[in-house]
Structure 1
Amino acid sequence: MARNFGGHLRFKETGEKIVRRCNGLPLAAKAIGSLLRTVKYHQEWERIYESEIWNLPEEQCGIIPALRLSYHHLPSYLKRCFAYCSILPKDYEFEEEEIILLWRAEGLLQQKAIPQIKDLGHQYFQDLVSRSFFQISSKDEFRFVMHDLINDLAQVVAGEIFSKLESDKQQKFSNRTRHSSYIVSKYDRMKKFEAFNQVKSLRTFLPLRLSRYQRAFLTNVVLVDLLPRLGYFRVLSLCGYEIFELPDVFENLRHVRYLNFSDTNIKCLPDSLCTLYHLETLLLKGCFKLQKLPSKMGNLVNLHDLDIRGVKSIERMPFGIDKLTNLQRLSDFIIGEGDGHRMRELKYLSNLKGDICLSGLENINGQDAREARLDEKEMIDRLVLHWSKKFEESGNTEDEEWVLDSLCPPKKLQQLVIENYGGAKFSTWIADSSFKHMLSLELRNCKNCKSLPSIARLPLLKDLSIGGLDEVHKIGVELFGANQSNAFASLETLHFEIMPNWEEWDSCEGDEQASKFPSLLELSIRECPQLLGRLPTFLQSLQKLEIYKCRRLVVSISSFLSLCELSIEGCEQLVYEGSSSPEEVTSLKNVS
């Protein structure tokens, strides 16, 4: 016991001496603290304290010794990943997946470094976050940023191999430059790209936008002259440019691993793109005018990521998708009219993970749905099941129920959206308690459904949104489930919207032993004009209440002791029971 106490004391004393060397700089102290957490033995702490790096003059390169020391102790594979991020401009906010895809394209994710880790890119990224090289953005909790001093450090360790264009000023690249980036301007003219005339073996061409909504125009000389000359690309992005057509030059770019044409105006992709046998990532998000994918997509056997979110003009998937057995992320799988059997191609894509939207489900039958084997794809965490709006009233309800029954997803699913489903009832698997990882459920525009599934038993469900269910007249015991002792134990947000015939909400308050909505923080009921009666009175945790165009609903806030925000509009019967009024409820901060 005494020896153990002495060991802790030595660690503490050494740690304090090291922190004092940071001269009171918070970033330096944080970086050193992150480094010390990875070091197990006191002797290593002493070596860090006695390192000669502390004595290197900061004036020579402008890098604080503590930051240099943190980089010095990174594993070699993380050093390479960090150095690559030197092409990111200061204050640029980025997503984790964005960086991981670039690392992979450049061959920086080496499985032999950490052989037991399945999601290697995520592990690398989180290691750099934990060591304070990346920080969560103060503006967006889902994005990250590099501190200016960390960005300076990255540029110093990266050297001439990595370069970035600063604004539109004249700049020269070294002939050793392999990776480049620049901030997109509204008009990117040829003068901006003169620096690329010095490089012959460029591997990264990466324009970066400070806003996704920024409109930008690119000189055509870059497309028809510059890009074909740079045949060693691993990463090529034209994201966000007002480009309507791509030149048919991909046969000259055989080394490409990553292509990003998101948010462009392209209408089609050249057939030569399908000769890129090394291509791993193809990003087409927000290409609203893109009408179809190339017919020989099946040749891209090394493709890992295909993102076509927001590409509404594509009516079907090309043949050969079943050959893309390395595919991990497929944002959308679209079944065209008469192509129901194509749904079966999904069974060969056993590595799918993350988000996927299955649309055109009005074109399949139950057997097609069953052979997709969704339940075996355990790494899918968000699933959208989408039927066409045109079909919702004309389809056969029994056939649609068979399809939904057959689309049972994996048990580890976290988020589920069902949209425009035409059946009269929901499948029992939706409410199965074995979906214990389910966090979010949305039921939208399922016009023929007459009742809701008994989803109260889903133990971790936090967000529930129900809207456009025209045939639902009553919500009650079928939602809570019979003899359910702790209904919606984890639910935090509950939204009802556009329920034109919903008349009664039976909250089963007579069951005194049942606890319902113990964690509910936000309740919204919008455009439910026939809803009668009162809201449940047992919502003790409720903080935000919104009622909009529910003219027959009686609203009383006397029992909502934690209410902070109240918004009511279009309710003819609004009462305040007892002595309380909105102004007298002391927890209220916002009333409208």
Structure 2
Amino acid sequence: MAESLVSSLLEQFASITVQEAEQEIRLVIGVDKEVQKLKGNLRTIQAVLDDAEKRQLKEEAVKLWLKGLKDVSYEMDDVLDEWNTAIIKSEIEKQEKAESSPILKRKVCSFIPSSLCCFRQFKKLGLRHDIAHKIKELSGNLDELHEESAEFGFGIYLNRDTEVVARPTTTSLIDVSDIVGRDKDRDDLIRKLLVLGEGSEREKNPYVISLVGMGGIGKTALAQLAYNDDKVKDHFDISMWVCVSELFDCCKVAQAIIQEVEYTSPNITEFGTLMQKVKSLIEGKKFFLILDDVWTEESKEWEPIKFALKCGAQGSKILVTTRNEKVAKMVVSASITNLGKLYEEHCWLTINKIAFDGMDENQREQLEDLGRELANKCKGLPLAAKTLGSLMRDKRSRQQWKNILDNNLWEFEDVQKGLLASLLLSYYELPSAIKRCFLYCAVFPKDYVFSRNDLVYLWMAQGYLDLEQNIEMEIIGEEYFEKLAMCSFFQDFEKGDNDDDKIITCKMHDMVHDFTQLMSTNECFTICVDKELVIDWKSARHLTLELYIETQFPVSIYNAKNLRTLFLRYSRIVLFPLDLFQHLTCLQSLSLEFNSFEKLPNEVEKLKHLRLLNLSRCFNITELPEMMCNLCNLQTLNISSCNQIKKLPQGMGKLIKLRHLLINNCYKLIEPFPKGIGRLSSLRTLEKFIIGGINNIGECKLGELKNLVHLKGSLVIEGLENVTNVQEAENAQLKNKIHLRELSLWFGRPYENRRGENDELVLNAFEPHPELESLWIYGYGGTGYPNWVMSLTILKKLELQSWTKVELLPPLGNQCFLESLVIEGAKSMKKVGIEFLGIESNRKKDEEKGSTSTSFPNLDSLIFEDMKEWEEWDGMGWEKVAFQNQF
């Protein structure tokens, strides 16, 4: 985590020179030397951080040194953020001046005395002097840490051979009676080993099966059960067990295979000779090979062994165990099993078997209730049950058992050796940037349901997702999330309905959560206000505060001057503490979800570092303060389900760094957006866009969409009945929004006296990008159909509601990807003609190609509703129409 902090600081220092050049200003004389000195010290420290972070678990002095480094690093980050904030504010001022009329500018300038201009220059100089002073002070602090690092004798790791925690070597030997709760998993695995695959899978030889799961879940034990099963032994000519561990060395794997077959260690080291030897030993034989604990994701390391093993007889099987699903895909698994948790009863049986061994019946009865509580702490993790069972083996009194139940289990050395070692191995495999994202999860309470997107936005707010080769922060965050999911740090996945099988929400195993808290001690906290708050507030960086009862806000939190994250959950505080933001000025993420207060104070503008503000489900808030628009670093604003908010602040255009404006389910947010939304060129998420009337100067117009070229996902545009100039619709340039997938166009209530011709012109000028997947149009008053709809080549969902004047439908049957179609409120339509099926247009194409087309080949649902004049449907008898009709 410290390594990633230092890397981020080095990048920021490198950018200072560029920013100075752009702003045509220089820091106070001498500070550039301090900056270079800081960079040099940071690079030296960065080189030894790998060693320091591993030694901190055993050496208290190293742990304290790392804490000091993190403190200084955070302070540096804040100073650099002040510098960047000043530049952003300067950009906003330039934009506002450029948008004001030249006449107004001349009038204003003529009344501004030259002394005021001098004052502004003096203010800028004062700011630079203040930053320079802070940098010089921090440079001195880093000097001390640099000198101390030399005393520790830190080593520089150029490879990954050195580990604090050694990987255990596994074997095929096992005591079957030690394994509880895996009967069904064992039977399923054995069935896969004894039968050939189905369909095309039968052709694969050898047939690869993968067991995937977090450390301690029981992958190796299950593999041992299968390996030692008598039916499996009789089924294969040769059985081999190879513990691969971290480094996938083809030569070592080949040597292990040879040793398993010949029972002697080969005296061969040459790669080609080893491969030939493996081939000669297994050629024509049906073999079973277990590769336990595979970590490599590189297919080039796997291919030579895979090629050598192809000469085995049909029906040969390879079983791979891994913590990383990416590994299972790399080895081209025909079957992947994600190993689940044990039931609590099975954890209890494991503890019972180990801990109560040698106890008399009376002792067992006295301790059973506590043993079951201990089993609950295991949360389905077999390794936890075994480790805790071993820990309790020599403890005979209830008080001893209670002491362990009431204490943090990580304090016990026996537990650390088992669980901590297992998790550390996976943790050390992560790149430093992903480590930091992983440990951030310690701020959430246990059993918290993570939203994938919310987690990425939070990482982004903390500066964990720095740009890499112009890759967007959100994409980097998605990759980090996938990596953690594949390494089994997350579980209980809920996936979306889309074809991409994307994870929407997940949880973290309790033991993994405990591990994150251990590794981020004194930085991340989750506390309830009804408990005594005993916290090192100076070190606290991330805090979740749960207020389940009506109580006064705990003012002791004001001492957390360095806090960067605050989640205030389930608060019943009606009046928000006005002075909170005066004390917690370092906040970068503020989540006030599910809170009862009615007004966010203007003092929120003091949070100059704030990147994320979450007000979702604050049902009593009626408006957002105008001063909030001074949060020039804000990236994510979430007001989803704030049902009382009617409008956005007028100064929204100043939030030029905003990337995600989340406003779903804000049912009363019906007033047009303020003018200036078009300045928010960084926006990726804009769930709704409300257009103002032509005569309302302070409201945004459709053309402001032009600069929002990065919009992704879905967009709802309301107020299209206000558009009288077709040029406005063309200016929106929806065709350039290449990442939009869902579009909803709202023409307002279908009043009879509205000119349908104007709606028709506007809609035709609205042509979106052809890769749109979902389209919904409401209240359209035209009689024609927009030409561009038929150019939406991958459209899956189409809803046309309240098209009161349309009498004919276009050839939608030609939309080959269309899955859902809704026609509702077409009150003027008397006939659905054969042209709707696209028969005529298809017939011409079929004649040219000599083939036969099918209308609506993928349609699952067709709904016609509220069609008051509908009398006839021509073409319903056509035998190749296949869909479900609902009326």
Q: Which category of TM-score, normalised to the shorter sequence, fits these structures?
A: 0.7 to 0.9
Q: Match of 1:408, SS?
A: coil
Cα distance in 2, alignment partners of residues 116 and 379 from structure 1: 13
Query: 1:85 aligns to what?
Result: 441
How many Å apart are 1:376 and its aligned residue? Answer: 0.7
Aligned to 1:371: 731
Match of 2:691 in 1: 335
- The residue type equivalent to 1:99 in the other structure is L
Instruction: Report the residue type matching 1:387 in the other structure.
Output: F
Are the equivalent residues in 1 in contact too, given 2:293–2:321 (CA < 8 A)?
no
Alignment of 1:413-562 (within 5 A): 413-432=772-791, 435-483=792-840, 484=842, 485-510=853-878, 515-517=880-882, 520=883, 523-525=885-887
Which amino acid letter does the alignment assign opposite residue 292 of structure 2?
E
Deviations 1:21-80 (A, max 9, x none): xxxxxxxx976253755999xxxxxxxxxxxxxx99651387364433222211111111
Distance 1:4 1:385, change over 3 A: farther
Q: Deviations over 1:216-243 (max 9, x none)?
A: 52253x5313333211110112222222
CA gap of 1:152–1:461, structure 2 versus 1, over 3 A, is farther
- Cα separation, partners in 2 of 1:324 and 1:503, compared to 1, 3 Å: same
Residue 637 of structure 2: aligned partner = 282
Q: Is structure 2 residue 654 aligned with structure 1 residue 309? A: no
Indicate if the aligned counterparts of 1:256 and 1:279 stay in contact, CA closer than 8 A: yes
**Preserved CA contact (<8 Å) 1:383 1:415:** yes
Post-superposition offset of 1:183: 4.5
Answer with 283-292 or 402-411: which moved more. Answer: 283-292
Shift of 1:116: 8.7
The aligned counterpart of 1:553 is none
Question: Which stretch shifts more, 102-111 or 134-143?
Answer: 134-143
Alignment match, 1:359 = 718
The correspondence for 1:63, drawn from 419, 432, 435, is: 419
Q: Is 2:691–2:720's contact at 8 Å kept on the other side of the alignment? A: yes
Contact residue 550 and residue 573 of structure 2 kept, 8 A:
yes
Contact persistence 1:114–1:120 (CA under 8 A): no
**1:359-384 alpha-carbon deviations (Å, 9 max, x no partner):** 00001132210111000110111111
User: Where does 1:344-423 land on structure 2 (aligned, <5 Å)?
Assistant: 344-364=703-723, 365-389=725-749, 391-423=750-782
TM-score by length of 2: 0.51
The superposition leaves residues 398-449 of structure 1 with CA deviations (integer Å, 9 ceiling, x where unpaired) of: 11111111111111111111111111232122123xx222221111222222
**Structure 1 residues 219 and 392: CA distance shift in structure 2, 3 A:** closer
**1:224 matched residue in structure 2:** 578
Give the CA deviation at 1:337: 2.0
Task: Give the whole-Å Cα distance in 2 for the aligned partners of 1:287 and 1:117.
Answer: 27
Q: Secondary structure at the match of 1:190?
A: coil
CA distance in 2, matches of 1:374, 1:165: 47
Partner Cα distance (1:260, 1:341) in 2:
24
Amino acid in the other structure paired with 2:819: K
Q: CA deviation at 1:138?
A: 5.8
Matched residue of 1:249: which SS?
helix
**How far, CA to CA, are the matches of 1:363 and 1:230 in structure 2?**
44
Q: Which of residues 281, 287, 292 is equivalent to 1:16? A: 292
Q: Give the aligned partner of residue 454 of structure 2.
A: 98
1:166-181 equivalent positions in 2, closer than 5 A: 166=528, 168-175=530-537, 176-181=539-544
**Structure 2, gaps ≥5 residues long:** 1-271, 296-319, 332-386, 388-411, 497-502, 843-852
Match of 1:199 among 534, 537, 560: 560
Q: What is the alpha-carbon distance in structure 2 between the residues aligned to residue 101 and residue 348 of structure 1?
A: 22
Q: Is the 8 A contact 1:35 1:70 kept in 2?
A: no
Q: Cα distance 1:284–1:443, how it changes in 2: closer, same or farther (>3 A)?
A: same
Task: Indicate the SS of the match to 1:227.
Answer: helix
- Letter of the 1:406 partner, please give it: A
| Residue in structure 1 matched with residue 517 of structure 2 by the alignment | 155
Distance 1:156 1:4 in 2: 49
Q: Given that residues 430 and 455 in structure 1 are in contact (C-alpha distance below 8 angstroms), is that contact kept between their aligned partners in structure 2? A: no
Structure with the higher fraction of residues in helix conformation: 2
Distance 1:58 1:458 in 2: 64
- Which structure's relative contact order is higher, taking Cα pairs within 8 Å and 6+ residues apart? 2
Give SS of 1:263's match: coil
Per the alignment, residue 268 of structure 1 pairs with: 623
Equivalent in the alignment of 2:611: 257
Query: SS of 2:291's equivalent?
Result: helix
Deviations 1:500-543 (A, max 9, x none): 33333334434x5xx323xx4x5432xxxxxxxxxxxxxxxxxx
Contact in 2 for aligned 1:164/1:180 (Cα 8 Å): yes
Which position in structure 2 is the counterpart of 1:3?
275
Gaps of 5+ in 1: 20-28, 41-54, 210-215, 526-592
The offset of 1:195, in angstroms, is 5.6
Residue 115 of structure 1 deviates from its aligned partner by: 5.0
C-alpha distance after superposition, 1:100-128 (max 9, x if no partner): 11111111112238959872222222222
Q: 1:14 to 1:145 in 2, by over 3 A?
A: same
Contact 1:205–1:235, Cα closer than 8 Å, also in 2: yes
CA contact (8 A) 1:266 1:287 kept: yes
Aligned-partner Cα distance in 1 for 2:855–2:457:
41
For the Cα contact (< 8 Å) 1:201–1:230, is it kept in 2? Answer: yes
Pair 1:245-2:613 in alignment: no
Change (3 A) 1:115 1:18: closer
TM-score (norm 1): 0.74
Cα distance change on mapping 1:502 and 1:307 into 2, 3 Å: same
Contact 2:460 2:473 (8 Å CA) reproduced: no
State the SS of the aligned residue for 2:467. Answer: coil
Structure 2 CA distance for partners of 1:200 and 1:113, relative to 1, 3 Å: farther
**In the aligned structure 2, how far is the partner of 1:471 from the partner of 1:490?**
28
Whole-angstrom distance in 1 between the partners of 2:327 and 2:556: 42
5 Å-filtered alignment, 1:116-135, equals 119-135=475-491
Shift of 1:184: 5.6
Maintained 8 Å contact 1:31/1:66: no
Aligned residue identity for 1:360:
G
Cα gap change, 1:171 to 1:395, in 2 (>3 Å)? same
**What amino acid does structure 2 have at the position aligned with 1:307?**
L
User: 2 CA distance for matches of 1:354 and 1:429?
Assistant: 20
SS at match of 2:674: coil
Asked if the contact 2:677/2:704 (under 8 Å) is kept, the reply is yes
Q: Distance in 1 between matches of 2:678 and 2:472?
A: 28
Pairs aligned (count)? 484
> Hey, what's the Cα distance between the residues in 2 that align with 1:278 and 1:381?
28
SS in 2 for 1:78: helix
Identity of aligned residues (%): 32
Distance, in Å, in 1 between the alignment partners of 2:277 and 2:596 is 66
